[in-house]
Amino acid sequence: MKIWRGFRRLGKRLRWPIRSAGLNFALAYGLVFIISAGVFLSFIWWNTTGQLDRQVEAAVQVDAHDLAQRWVHGGPAALALAIQDRLDQNVEDDELYLLVGPDGRKYAGNLPGWPVVITQMDEFYELSIRRDGFRTQAKMHAFPLSEGFRLIVGRDVRGRQVVRHVLTDTLIWAWVMVSLLAAGGTLAIRRIFRQVVRSIARTTSAVAQGDLSRRIPLTGNETDLVAQTVNTMLERINRLMDGVRQVSNAIAHDLRTPIARARARLEDASLTATSEDELRAAIDRAVLDLDHVTSIFEALLRIAQLEAGAQRAAFTVLDIPSLLEGLSELYEASMEDAGLKLDFRIGVLAPVNGDPHLLQQAVANLLDNAIKFAPENTTITLSAVMQKGRVAVSVSDQGPGMSELDMARASERFFRAETARNTPGAGLGLSLVQAVVQLHGGTMELSDGKPGLRVTLLLPALQNAKTLPA
């Protein structure tokens, strides 16, 4: 435990002092780049020098094998003659030979004597020797012969040493240049990082001060992914704020009338009522107005709960045909009383995952709207078909319909088209339907029924589920 605590205290003392995220990121990039370059250049140096060593060793082995054949066929005299021939023909003057007898006497070769460090016959030696009055580096291998003779075959590797030094200097300078490039890249990365952070900071600061129209500019590189994500978030915040303002204005406008009417009726009854029955009638009318206000608030609360996704606990596998059949039976009588006809069409459908009560309420809202706006002696159609892997539930009427602009705003809270200004309602029906459909992962589409309006609810069908017959 004491050792562990000591390491923790040491780690705290050596903690990285730089607090700039951009600088840390840039330094990490530069460090990785420099280390990678160092490892790569080291591998080149090691592989190149190793290849030179392997070439020397291979040449020595081949030469020694050929000289051993000469020894077998001609003995010391033939081997000495072969060594002298090789030395005479060696233009580069890099071949080294030494043939000694059992007593250590030199028979042939250009080495002055047997090096004392060469004691093994199964390995290469690299050592410094003196030749022609100067010292040089040599790589040699000793081979035992019969009758006590010994042979050394080697190469002067002075040229290889020069190549190694040149290669080393070249790779060091290359690593220095790569490090300078890494430093430049580090500064560039830091600059890009700071530009992105500053751009986000300027935009978010402007948004914090109330300017919701500001967006992060796109630069055409990988940082646009962050910019687009933040811009999408700001777009949604802007839409939500607009929705809050619109809802606030709509509440103030739509609730002022019933509240003012209830107050006026109660005040009028208080001043002019001459009997208990007149006072009770005024109170009942005021209660109806206040009930309308309460229903609006309940609808708003219901929409908020649905948009928050708080109603998924009751989700189950739904049989859409049986749900729609129940609604058609329920509404058929009320439509007949209103002089309307219900056309119920249903195809082969796959089940969906959802809340039966919410979906029933959504379709019921659409049927109520259709009854409200459909002219007498017309037909309201309730249909359901499969459409690109989704269950499409449609309700269409032959009423006045909506313009394209009205259809684009139909799901907004408290929005009412011009054709619906004189009809009862608060403009929350389609908003509630939209919230229900979104909770189920679907979409609501409005289209021109020519005549009338067609509202289609597209609900995702369960994957790998069998379709259910009508």
Q: How far apart are CA 70 and CA 305, in angstroms?
A: 101
pLDDT at 459: 86
Which pLDDT value is given to residue 201? 80
- Residue in the structure block whose two tokens are 């020894």: 71
Those residues of the chain that have pLDDT short of 70 are: 1-26, 29, 132-133, 221-223, 240, 242-257, 292-293, 295-314, 406-429, 463-470
Q: Could you give the CA distance from residue 95 to residue 110 in angstroms, rounded to a whole number?
A: 9
The reported pLDDT for the residue numbered 244 is 63
Q: Which residues of 98-107 are buried (b: 16+ CB within 10 A; e: fewer)?
A: bbbeeeeeee
Cβ neighbours, 10 Å, residue 352? 24
Give kind and range of the element (H or E) at residue 5: helix 2-13
CB 420 within 8 A of CB 374: no
Enter the pTM of the model. 0.43
Residue 25, pLDDT score: 64
Report the DSSP beta bridge partners of residue 459.
391
> What does the alpha-carbon distance between residue 56 and residue 39 come to, in Å, rounded to a whole number?
26
Residues belonging to the chain: 470
Nearest to 140 by CA among 63, 84, 46, 50: 63
User: What's the chain's Rg over C-alpha atoms?
Assistant: 47
pLDDT the model gives residue 413: 57
**394 touches 381 (CB < 8 A):** yes
CA 180 – CA 178 distance, rounded (Å): 5
Give the model's pLDDT for residue 7: 41
Task: Give 124's contacts (C-beta < 8 A, 6+ positions apart).
Answer: 57, 60, 139, 140, 141
Quote the DSSP letter at residue 41: H
Report pLDDT for 16: 45
CB proximity list for 25: less than 8 A, separation 6 or greater: 189, 190, 193
Token pair for 253: 């406008």
Write the CA distances from 307 to 164, 366, 383, 440, integer angstroms: 73, 19, 26, 11
| 396 in Cβ contact with 451 (< 8 Å) | no
CA distance 112 to 108: 10
Q: Which residue has the tokens 């580069």?
A: 92
